[in-house]
Structure 1
Amino acid sequence: MALVSAAICPHPVMLIPDLAGRSDRWDRLRSACLEAVGLLQIPVVGGGLEPSPDAPQLVAIVGGDDATRSFDPAGAYPSLFSNGIRWRSGWGQDAEDPQPLPLTLSLGYWLLVSSRPDGKGIIVADGAFESIDFDASLEDCAALGRDLAGRAERVAMIVIGEGSTCMTASDRVDQAEEAAGYDKAVMRALEQCDADALGRLGENGLAMTGRAPWRVLAGAAAGNEFEGRLHAGGRENDGGYFVASWTRRPSGANV
């Protein structure tokens, strides 16, 4: 049982077209996120689509929040009401125990559903929705990652978090050098699939919503080799947002 792939994406609400309208900037970032999620090979049936035999059996969406919590997939649905935005989606609203997801998981859910080719078919992989406390310890993050990676033979993750883009404008000015250094270290670790480096990105006083979920990813990926791709983050017009994808190398593959 192991992690086989991961998509790492940010959580600006403007990823949702209904909120962003027409914007080249958000269109580019949205396309990068959907490209990364599309590489997870999430199994979809219907509309002439058939899943690959190597498709993941479980898709886990992980994002930071004020508390660590598991959400019941049967009642989970994306909602931005708590962020002051009248937007929600998903059939979970009609469940007996509806559970609105926090911002990070709501964006991850939206990306998952929107990644289907032409919006067709039904996703048949099991789902997991896990928030991790922004201030969770490295040990707690790694433990959640190992737990998620052990829930199925083939596990994919959508990991939602940001670096300095989530800081206030004044903090970005006051801590510009530290933030820039942290962002570069994160981007390098994501591009190189360096789980050890990602897990070691420690307590530096910067308010990064990605720290805990990235550490969860590091815990899930430990002991395996991955190939990485940076879809956004390395160019000035990316706006400081990171988008990356990891795909596990087969055992015995040349590094």
Structure 2
Amino acid sequence: MLVAAAVCPCPPLLVPEVAVGAAGEAEALRGACLDAVRGLADVELVVVVGTGDRAGVWTEGGAGSFRRYGVQKAVKLPLGGVDGPELSPALTVGAWLLEQAGVRVPTHAVAVRPDTAAERLLGLGRGLAELADRVGLLVMGDGSARRSVKAPGYLDGRAEGYDRAVAAALAAADASALAALDADLSAELLVEGRAPWQVLAGAAEGATLGGELRYEDAPYGVGYLVASWR
């Protein structure tokens, strides 16, 4: 049963060694993420959910690195036992957050393709919620990358409204609103979080959780949202 969730964005700049000169600029975002992740410390099983080029599941360990960003730093899933297959970039940031937050409980990880249909994501979430009596999800994904003219996807006037609607859903722990997110619009707005958020929506079906929005901003033209569900 899902008893807790932390929702975080997955930019590598969360890692100070990667951010270098911008590390201070990301301090508030990093702090909000770590506060949210610490809320998973009392569950039986954490499942990290994020996007990847290929769908994948890690149940007996996994490792990732930040070498692609020129930083010789590696992370492993807590209590994974072995290195396992390489984690996707989003899951790697999630593993780093767990490490930094001091969450040391058995951990699995799931990568989903960004274009996965909502019904499959909801079904996956329902299955994850049944893996233990007390399951926590660490859900990694960014909002729209079209929030400003300097954003990776340039400015789209619909982007801010989209992110605000997601922020409201996260603040209210509104699984139905996340389940209803439009896949085509999400793709047009370069939203990486749509698929992981809909896994959360499936996992939260039938659960009675409250939400807290910890961070909402788009400092680099990309929507970053941090929330806790308990």
The TM-score normalised by the length of structure 2 is: 0.87
Give CA-to-partner distance per residue, 1:182-229, whole Å, 9 cap, x none.
111111111111000011011213221100000000000011221111
Q: Which residue of structure 2 aligns with residue 65 of structure 1? A: 52
Counting only pairs closer than 5 Å after superposition, residues 234-245 of structure 1 correspond to structure 2 as: 240-245=223-228
Greater gyration radius: 1
Runs of 4 or more above 6 Å deviation: 235-239
Residue 6 (str. 1) matches residue 5 (str. 2)? yes
CA contact (8 A) 1:193 1:226 kept: yes
Task: Give the letter aligned to residue 57 of structure 2.
Answer: S
- Aligned counterparts of 2:53 and 2:84: Cα–Cα separation in 1: 19
Within the alignment, does 1:134 sit opposite 2:121 as a pair?
no
> What does 1:140-159 align with in structure 2 at a 5 Å threshold?
140-159=120-139
* 2:112 is the alignment partner of 1:112: no
| 1:225 aligned partner | 208
Between the aligned residues of both structures, percent identity stands at: 36
Tell me what 1:33 maps to: 33
Q: Unpaired runs of 5+ in structure 2?
A: none
Matching residue's letter, 1:135? D
Change (3 A) 1:238 1:166: closer
In 2, Cα distance between equivalents of 1:130 and 1:138? 16
Tell me the alpha carbon deviations over residues 44-81 of structure 1, each in whole angstroms, 9 at most, x when there is no partner: xxxxxxxxxxx21100000011221102433x112233
Contact 1:25 1:237 in 2 (8 A): no
Number of residues of Structure 1 aligned to a counterpart in Structure 2: 221
Partner Cα distance (1:159, 1:226) in 2 = 15
Matching residue's letter, 1:5:
A
Do the aligned partners of 2:60 and 2:84 also contact (CA within 8 Å) in 1? no
Distance 1:134 1:79, change over 3 A: same
Q: Letter of the aligned partner of 2:165 in structure 1?
A: A
Equivalent position SS for 1:162: coil
Q: CA, structure 1 residues 91+68, in 2 after alignment: closer, same or farther (shift >3 Å)?
A: closer
Residues 217 and 166 (structure 1), Cα distance of their counterparts in 2 relative to 1, 3 Å cut: farther
